[in-house]
């Protein structure tokens, strides 16, 4: 929000217009932000204005039609066997935190393709042992 204010000025939130959102995105991109970073900032701002609409502080979200920057598809990196072994070895040797066996989490991620959130939220109930 501070970044948005620094770009559009200290304007009353009820006076924010579509143009402010477009200027914000352009300044983010001109300032060296990656398109993904600018998109995240815009999504966060849109959420704040949606909350103002839900609470009756605004009639409509002034940023609702501001387009998100296009993000080019990145190249997918596939870890080599050596990289996988190094990650597991470092995780076994490192004593980071008390509640996680990082080596097991890394091995599970490598074997299943699960994302971090999926791994951390997995319970015994959701595991299909037969499959």
Domain range list for the chain: 2-54, 81-126
Q: Which residues contact 17 (CB under 8 A, 6 or more apart)?
A: 62
Average pLDDT score over the chain = 88
Q: How sure is the predictor about 7, in pLDDT bands with cuts at 50, 70 and 90?
A: confident
Going from the C-alpha of 64 to that of each of 33, 45, 50, 56, the distances in angstroms are 21, 10, 9, 16
Q: pLDDT tens-digit profile of 79-96?
A: 999 999 999 999 888 776
Closest CA to 27 of 7, 45, 2, 10: 7
pLDDT attached to residue 47: 95
Rounded Cα gap, residues 39 and 68, in angstroms: 6
Mean local confidence (pLDDT), 40-56: 94
Total-model pTM? 0.55
94 DSSP 8-state letter: -
Exposure of 27 in the CB half-sphere (CA atoms within 13 A): 15
Q: Residue 19, class by beta-carbon neighbours within 10 Å (0-12 exposed, 13-18 middle, 19+ buried)? A: exposed
Q: Give the tokens for residue 22.
A: 């477009």
């Amino acid at each position: 929000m501070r970044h948005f204010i620094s770009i559009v000025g200290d304007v009353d939130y009820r006076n924010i217009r579509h143009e402010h959102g477009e200027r914000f995105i352009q300044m983010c991109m001109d300032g060296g932000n990656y398109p993904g970073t600018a998109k995240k900032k815009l999504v966060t701002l849109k959420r704040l204005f949606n909350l103002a609409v839900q609470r009756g502080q605004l009639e409509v979200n002034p940023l609702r039609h501001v387009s998100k920057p296009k993000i080019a598809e990145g190249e997918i990196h596939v870890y080599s066997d050596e990289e996988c072994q190094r990650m597991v070895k470092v995780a076994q040797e490192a004593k980071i935190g008390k509640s996680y066996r990082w080596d097991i989490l890394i091995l599970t991620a490598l074997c299943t393709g699960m994302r971090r959130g999926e791994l951390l939220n997995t319970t015994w109930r959701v595991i299909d042992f037969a499959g």
